[in-house]
A and B are shown apart, each in its own frame.
Chain A
Amino acid sequence: MFRLSNSPLEINNLHASLQSETAGGFVCFEGRVRTLNEGKTVTSLEYESYGPLAEKEGLRVIQEAKEKFPIIAASCVHRIGHLQIGDIAIWVGVISQHRGPSFEACRYIIDEIKSRLPIWKKEHYQDGDSGWINCEKPNSSSK
């Protein structure tokens, strides 16, 4: 399962959705909004996405993880909208018979989601400035 969410993630529900009597291991990754990035103090951030393609690509990543690793199930939800420090931005959970494949698949999913999905992040800084991550550096004239 992969989906985008405009509202805070309900971790207990996500956790409950990954149950299996054959699962001996559950691994989860939570990405949280942190206050420091590259030396600047972040006060909040916004996630924006091209929803239809992000959801298709997210499902592809989950399917790839199932093909590459002997896991039972995997889920991922990515927040969209305005988030505050400490909020959960992304949740990835994997269950498998033994722990190894869950760790590997979880790492695969978060890495692929970060590099492939059309999702953008704008950080707002304490000094009043803001910027789209990875978009500002290609041209130094951006503020």
Chain B
Amino acid sequence: MSSCGLKHILKTMGEKTVHIQYFALLREQRKQANESLHTNAQTPAELYRELAQKHPFTLAQENLQVALNEEFVSWETSLSDGDHLVFIPPVAGG
């Protein structure tokens, strides 16, 4: 296995950098629209729990949906280094 491949596997097993974009109520409560952070969270559910401990989010996970790299995904999808996440508050278009 190449060193490059090994590095990739180690990254996907542990710490990774993810990019988060916030909208609406979450953006206001986070007081910023974007952040990149290092995390050991394996799934969006774990990541949201981690964030909710640090920030005054009032929305429970059950009120949100999550998008990974511009598609809706399940909360138990595996996160990879470089992923782009959006936690989606209850929508109100129209």
Contacts and interface: CB of A to CB of B under 8 A. Distances in A.
A138 B63 contact: yes
Contacts of A73: none
A118 B58 contact: no
A65 interface: no
- The 5 nearest A-B residue pairs measured at CB: A119-B93, A114-B94, A120-B24, A134-B90, A139-B58
A83 interface: no
Contacts of B88: 50, 118
Interface stretch (B9-17, B36-44, B66-74, B75-83): B66-74
Given A138-B90, A142-B58, 4 more contacts: A50-B21, A50-B88, A121-B93, A132-B25
28 contacts: A50-B88, A57-B72, A78-B93, A78-B94, A89-B94, A114-B91, A114-B92, A114-B94, A117-B93, A118-B23, A118-B65, A118-B91, A119-B93, A120-B23, A120-B89, A120-B92, A121-B92, A121-B93, A133-B92, A134-B90, A134-B91, A134-B92, A135-B25, A135-B63, A135-B92, A138-B60, A139-B60, A142-B58
Contacts of B72: 53, 57
Nearest to A110: B94
B91 A119 contact: yes
Contacts, number: 85
Say what secondary structure dominates the interface of chain A: mixed
Interface residues of A, number: 33
A56 interface: yes
A13 interface: no
